[in-house]
């Protein structure tokens, strides 16, 4: 038994392939039985000898499920074999049985996809074989980004590299992370991936990548420049070393925090205040062209609200006579052209829009920017209160911009998110003439709870349209979306469909059965429901099958709960 265990440790023989009349091996999958005492788990990567034009080749596969089979034709046979249900019965000869592993073919090192023959010895793949199996060996060294560690049952681990050209373009782009894997796991992974991208980018290229992070929960991302309180354990340090990364927080001189203005204007409306930050606020001038974003969640069956918003946007932009005296939210809501101060009621009719519709618009607007607002809407911004759209036009490569929206109302969050997307999109598509410094070639945009901003549904809101624009055409402009949400099915399928890399944490069985997970085999879907906290499934454009990875805890401070 010891010898068998040792063989397992050294990655030696663990079983033999088996093809039967009813269960044949195919080009896509094969089956092997396990030798006694061998431990194999789903997502282990194995190798087996295959034919070749010259000599032999190796076929690599990913274990998807394991079954224990015995020669009992029915459960009744087992009941009877236990002396008709005696719990204490100890049979003289244990029933013959074996564990059978089902394997999805990953690749063959000589591109031979003949079915694996029966009776071939199966071994655990070693580190270099795992990389061949996944196609990592075909990636250029400079394009390899560590995306996590693959840990096998025999103790062997290998770095799961993803190809930069498939994360940041030009081949494909975007990353989507989903799952209910645990507190801050998705955010932590996104931060790990961003850190990995930045650390593995050559120095002269780093200044071409800017990162914008949206902090949507607590103060998760408001301390990314500060070292974590606890030292890393030896295991965690080993994981960082294996990945070839340095566990360091983001440099303070490169991080910028933008916090929303509070109601009193003195303090920001955030869960915590970093050591340095700027405050942002919205006055009418900088919001006029984004009013539609505020109405993203308000039903507008006959598009009357859309017409009013459109008239106002045009009126303000063209400085039409009606809007000459409209310079603030108060002007807009309590003065002409929408409100008659003398009668103290909405105007009867304006540009063929009826008073009732104008009244509805005003009520919504008053609720959003005056009565119910969190403090970001001001009639006039103070000197230290920044307009985000202006700030985004100034972003520099090599810097990280964190925009806090955690304590904002939902419609305010949509406005901010949409504002950032619009600003970045216009910066890349139509750069300002007066800009002196180069525009970052790549802008990585991270947002959690994407389902809020781009929900699945037949009629996309203006905000969803913006997200779709980024997902479908952002790659050509260098705008990369790293997004996360609990349920992929809740996000617009055109957004997730455009993500070349998908990361999935533990998910419920009902969720993984939705059509958004069609890219996973049924066996892998059932494994997704069993992933532990910190374990993720990585599906990358280069890989033929998704792999299970682990990743280290963030090196920066995180809020304790």
Q: Smallest distance, Å, CB 32 to other proteins? A: 18
* For other proteins, the closer CB: 74 or 343: 74
Residue 299 binding other proteins, by CB under 8 A = no
- Name the maximum alpha-carbon separation found in the chain: 100
- Radius of gyration of the chain measured on its C-alpha atoms: 29
User: Does position 83 bind other proteins by CB under 8 A?
Assistant: yes
Query: What phi and psi values does residue 318 have, to the nearest 5 degrees?
Result: -90, 5
Nearest to 423 by CA among 402, 394, 397, 451: 394
Range in contact with other proteins (rule: CB under 8 A) among 82-90, 288-296, 326-334, 522-530: 82-90
- Which DSSP state fits 4? H
Rule CB under 8 A: is residue 84 a binding residue for other proteins? yes
Please state the closest distance from residue 73 (CB atom) to other proteins, in A. Answer: 4
Q: Choose between 56 and 138: whose C-beta lies nearer to other proteins.
A: 56
Q: In whole angstroms, how close is the CB of 80 to other proteins at the nearest point?
A: 5
For tokens 């618009």, name the residue.
361
- C-beta closer to other proteins: residue 73 or 321: 73
Query: Which of 2, 3, 90, 111 is in the footprint of other proteins by CB under 8 A?
Result: 90
Candidate list 80, 380, 510, 513; residue touching other proteins; CB under 8 A: 80
- Taking the C-alpha atoms of residue 454 and residue 445, their distance in angstroms, rounded to an integer, is 15
**Token pair belonging to 130:** 């795992």
Q: Are 466 and 504 in contact (CB under 8 A)?
A: no
Query: Cβ distance 408 to 376 under 8 Å?
Result: yes
Report how far residue 488's alpha carbon sits from residue 485's, in angstroms, rounded to the nearest whole number: 7
For residue 89, state whether it binds other proteins (rule: CB under 8 A). yes
Beta partners for residue 210, in sequence order: 443
Contact predicate 8/38, CB 8 Å: yes
Of 5 and 473, CB closest to other proteins: 5
Site stretch for other proteins (CB under 8 A), options 49-57, 85-93, 123-131, 463-471: 85-93
Q: Are 539 and 178 in contact (CB under 8 A)?
A: no
**Closer by beta carbon to other proteins, 78 or else 532:** 78
Q: What is the pattern of x (binds other proteins, CB under 8 A) and - over residues 95-134?
A: xx--------------------------------------
Q: Site residues for other proteins, window 227-256 (CB under 8 A)?
A: none
Query: Pick from 108, 412, 152: which is nearest to 260 by CA?
Result: 412
* Measured CA distances, 278 to 239, 334, 382, 404, 547 (Å): 35, 30, 12, 10, 41
Comparing CA positions, the residue from 486, 553, 561 lying closest to residue 230 is 553
Provide the minimum distance between the beta carbon of 19 and other proteins in the complex, in angstroms, as a whole number. 13
Query: From the CB of 91, what's the least distance to other proteins, in Å?
Result: 4
Which residue lies nearer to other proteins by CB, 83 or 128?
83
* 45: enclosing H helix or E strand: strand 45-51
Q: Are 536 and 548 within 8 A, CB to CB?
A: yes
- Are 402 and 258 in contact, with CB atoms under 8 Å apart? yes
Q: Which residue number, 22 or 459, has a Cβ lying nearer to other proteins?
A: 22
Candidates 53-61, 74-82, 142-150, 435-443; binding stretch for other proteins (CB under 8 A): 74-82
The distance of closest approach from Cβ of residue 169 to other proteins in the complex, given in angstroms and rounded to an integer, is 50
Nearest to 422 by CA among 373, 462, 367, 379: 462
The vertex-310 CA angle with 305 and 311, nearest 5°, equals 100
**Beta-strand runs (E) in 411-515:** 442-447, 479-485, 501-504
We find the least distance from the C-beta atom of residue 97 to other proteins, in angstroms, to be: 10
Considering the complex, what minimum distance in angstroms separates the CB of residue 140 from other proteins? 43
Would you state the structure tokens that stand for residue 204, as one six-digit string?
A: 């002269």
Nearer to other proteins, 66 or 72 (CB): 72
Shortest distance, position 131 Cβ to other proteins, whole Å: 34
- Binding residues for other proteins restricted to 54-73, rule: CB under 8 A: 71-73
> Which residues between 7 and 46 bind other proteins (CB under 8 A)?
36
Least Å from the CB of residue 74 to other proteins = 5
Listing DSSP states for 372-409 in one string gives S--S-B-SS--TTEEPHHHHHTT--TT-EEEEE-TTS-
Total residues binding other proteins (CB under 8 A) = 21
Minimum separation from the CB atom of position 10 to other proteins (A): 24
94 touches other proteins by CB under 8 A:
yes
Q: Name the one range near other proteins by CB under 8 A: 90-98, 99-107, 468-476, 552-560.
A: 90-98
Which positions lie near other proteins, rule CB under 8 A?
36, 71-74, 76-78, 80-84, 89-96
């Amino acid at each position: 038994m010891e010898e068998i265990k040792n063989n397992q440790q050294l990655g030696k023989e663990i079983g033999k392939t088996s093809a039967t009349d009813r269960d044949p091996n195919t080009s896509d999958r094969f089956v092997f039985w396990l030798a006694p005492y061998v431990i194999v788990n789903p997502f282990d990567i194995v190798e087996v000898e295959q034919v070749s034009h010259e000599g032999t080749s190796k076929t690599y596969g990913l274990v998807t499920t394991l079954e224990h089979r015995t020669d009992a034709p029915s459960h009744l046979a087992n009941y009877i074999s236990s002396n008709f249900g005696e719990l204490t019965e100890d049979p003289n000869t244990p029933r013959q049985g074996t564990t059978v592993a089902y394997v999805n073919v990953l690749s063959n090192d000589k591109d031979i996809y003949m079915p694996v023959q029966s009776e071939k010895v199966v071994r655990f793949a070693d580190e270099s074989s795992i990389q061949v199996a996944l196609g990592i060996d075909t990636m250029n060294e400079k394009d390899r980004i560590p995306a996590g560690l693959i840990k096998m049952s025999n103790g062997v681990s290998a770095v799961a590299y993803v190809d930069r050209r498939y994360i940041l373009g030009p081949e494909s782009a975007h990353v989507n992370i989903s799952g209910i894997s645990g507190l801050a796991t998705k955010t932590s992974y996104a931060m790990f991936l961003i850190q990995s991208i930045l650390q593995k980018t050559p120095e002269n290229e780093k200044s071409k990548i800017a990162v914008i992070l949206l902090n949507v929960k607590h103060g998760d991302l408001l301390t990314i420049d500060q070292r974590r309180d606890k030292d890393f354990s030896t295991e965690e340090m080993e994981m960082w070393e294996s990945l070839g990364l340095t566990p360091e927080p983001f440099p303070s001189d490169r991080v910028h925090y933008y916090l929303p203005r509070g109601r009193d204007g003195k303090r920001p409306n955030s869960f915590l205040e970093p050591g340095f930050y700027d405050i942002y606020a919205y006055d009418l001038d900088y919001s006029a062209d984004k009013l539609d974003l505020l109405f993203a969640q308000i039903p507008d069956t006959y598009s009357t609200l859309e017409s009013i918003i459109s008239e106002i946007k045009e009126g303000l932009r063209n400085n039409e006579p009606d809007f000459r005296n409209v310079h603030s939210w108060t002007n807009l809501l309590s003065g002409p052209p929408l409100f008659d101060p003398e009668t103290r009621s909405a105007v009867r009719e304006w540009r063929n829009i009826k008073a009732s519709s104008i009244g509805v618009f005003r009520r919504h607007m008053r609720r959003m920017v005056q009565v119910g607002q969190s403090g970001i809407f001001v009639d006039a911004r103070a000197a230290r209160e920044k307009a985000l759209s202006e700030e985004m036009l100034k972003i520099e490569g090599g810097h990280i911009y964190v925009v806090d929206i955690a304590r904002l109302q939902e419609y305010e969050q949509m406005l901010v998110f949409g504002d950032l997307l619009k600003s970045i999109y216009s910066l890349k598509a139509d750069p300002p003439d007066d800009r002196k410094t180069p525009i970052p070639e790549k802008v990585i945009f991270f947002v959690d709870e994407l389902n809020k901003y781009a929900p699945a549904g037949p009629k996309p809101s203006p905000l969803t349209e913006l997200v779709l624009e980024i997902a479908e055409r952002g790659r050509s402009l260098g705008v990369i979306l790293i997004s996360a949400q609990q349920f992929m099915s809740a996000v617009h399928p055109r957004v997730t469909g455009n993500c070349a890399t998908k990361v999935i944490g533990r998910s419920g069985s009902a969720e993984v059965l939705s059509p958004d997970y069609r890219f996973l085999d049924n066996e892998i879907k059932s494994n997704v429901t069993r992933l532990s906290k910190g374990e993720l499934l990585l599906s990358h454009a280069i890989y033929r099958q998704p792999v299970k990875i682990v990743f280290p805890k963030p090196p920066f401070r995180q809020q304790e709960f």
